[in-house]
């Protein structure tokens, strides 16, 4: 790997966190009561179970995204970059799995112009194949059409707005001097750090969420979705379970994919604040359009 260490500091810290979490899960309830009041144990237990299940469930998709990114970068280095760019766009738009894969795949999108890269990430969360299938099955064809239209609006606006960003300003430099295994570990570890933070925040919201969500306004639903940040495979199910009003449902769904902490942090660490801000503005405009279409 040309002298590049496989295990960087971030990766080692992540491994330490996972080891501590695994050790904590082995503590017996009797021992836990010595540290945590018994009245808080049920909530703490549910939070830890939710957080671990979210993180573990994302692992296969994170690995798939990191592997795809490494493969496409290898194509760009050894063959023609236009083929690598086409493959990157195809993976982002058509990957038939959870959008958690984009957390580790996004680094590969630096091969693309900033506008196209931002549009691909927005579309992959809002309108990937499994998300559309789940939306149609749970909320019906009308909400499917609304979701697709809003996704098109957000992707187009993001592409247009981010096209003014300098093509090289979102690149982190050439990675041709690093080995494939090193890049795989870096991509996967960076994604896992972000997903672990999102998993903890989502678990807390699921356990301690307000119980009066059924009649929430679209604005409240959007805020809740942006904080909860569910996967695209689950957002339609959660929207149907939490909210009654169609506008609140689509606001929750769209905010959870275009304006959530996971998406915005991914944009920021991969492409910088300029692309992130423009994508967020495009997401807000598309959210307003989605609520109007669902009325």
Average pLDDT of the chain?
81
Nearest one of 232, 164, 263, 236 to 280, comparing CA atoms: 263
Please give the residue that has the higher pLDDT: either 19 or 172: 19
Identify the band that residue 246 occupies on the pLDDT scale cut at 50, 70 and 90: very high
Name the pTM for this structure.
Answer: 0.81
Environment class of residue 63 by beta-carbon count within 10 Å: exposed (0-12), middle (13-18) or buried (19+)?
A: middle
Three-state SS at 225: helix
Nearest one of 246, 257, 236, 261 to 216, comparing CA atoms: 246
pLDDT at 33: 53
Position 23 pLDDT exceeds 60: no
pLDDT at 82: 78
> What backbone torsions phi and psi does residue 66 show, to the nearest 5 degrees?
-65, -40
Give residue limits of the domains in the chain: 9-294
pLDDT at 269: 83
Buried b (16+ CB within 10 A) or exposed e, 191-212: bbbbbbbbbbbbbbbbbeeeee
| Nearest-angstrom CA–CA distance, 137 and 255 | 20
What is the residue whose two structure tokens read 């927005």?
Answer: 122
Please give the residue that has the higher pLDDT: either 8 or 86: 86
Taking the CA atoms of 207, 213, 214 and 218 in sequence, report the sign of the dihedral they define: negative
> How do residues 75-118 score in pLDDT, each as one tens digit?
777 777 777 888 888 888 888 777 788 888 888 888 888 888 88
> How do residues 27-77 score in pLDDT, each as one tens digit?
555 555 555 555 666 777 788 778 888 888 888 888 888 888 888 887 777
Cβ distance 156 to 100 under 8 Å? no
Position 210 pLDDT exceeds 90: no
| Nearest-angstrom CA–CA distance, 123 and 251 | 16
Q: What is the DSSP letter of 168?
A: T
pLDDT at 63: 87
């Amino acid at each position: 790997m040309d002298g590049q260490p496989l295990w960087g500091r971030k990766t080692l810290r992540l491994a330490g966190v996972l080891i501590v979490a695994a050790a904590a899960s082995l503590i017996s309830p009797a021992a836990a009561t010595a540290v945590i009041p018994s009245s808080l144990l049920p909530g703490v237990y549910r939070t830890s179970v939710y957080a671990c299940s979210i993180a573990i469930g994302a692992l296969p998709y994170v690995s798939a995204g990191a592997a795809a990114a490494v493969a496409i970068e290898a194509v760009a280095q050894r063959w023609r970059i236009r083929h690598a760019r086409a493959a990157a766009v195809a993976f982002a738009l058509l990957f038939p799995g959870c959008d958690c894969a984009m957390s580790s795949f996004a680094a590969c999108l630096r091969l693309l112009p900033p506008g196209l890269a931002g549009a691909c990430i927005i579309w992959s969360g809002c309108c990937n194949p499994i998300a559309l299938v789940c939306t149609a099955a749970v909320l019906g064809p009308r909400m499917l059409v609304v979701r697709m239209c809003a996704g098109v609006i957000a992707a187009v606006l993001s592409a247009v707005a981010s096209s003014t960003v300098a093509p090289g300003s979102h690149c982190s430099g050439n990675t041709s001097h690093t080995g494939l295994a090193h890049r795989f570990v870096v991509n996967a570890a960076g994604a896992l750090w972000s997903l672990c933070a999102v998993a903890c925040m989502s678990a807390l919201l699921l356990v301690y969420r307000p119980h009066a969500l059924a009649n929430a306004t679209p604005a409240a639903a959007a805020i809740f979705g942006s904080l909860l940040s569910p996967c695209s495979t689950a957002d339609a199910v959660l929207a149907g379970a939490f909210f009654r009003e169609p506008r609140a449902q689509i606001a929750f769904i769209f905010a959870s994919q275009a304006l959530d902490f996971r998406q915005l942090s991914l944009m920021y660490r991969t492409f910088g604040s300029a692309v992130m801000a423009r994508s967020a503005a495009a997401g807000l405009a598309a959210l307003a359009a989605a609520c109007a279409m669902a009325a």
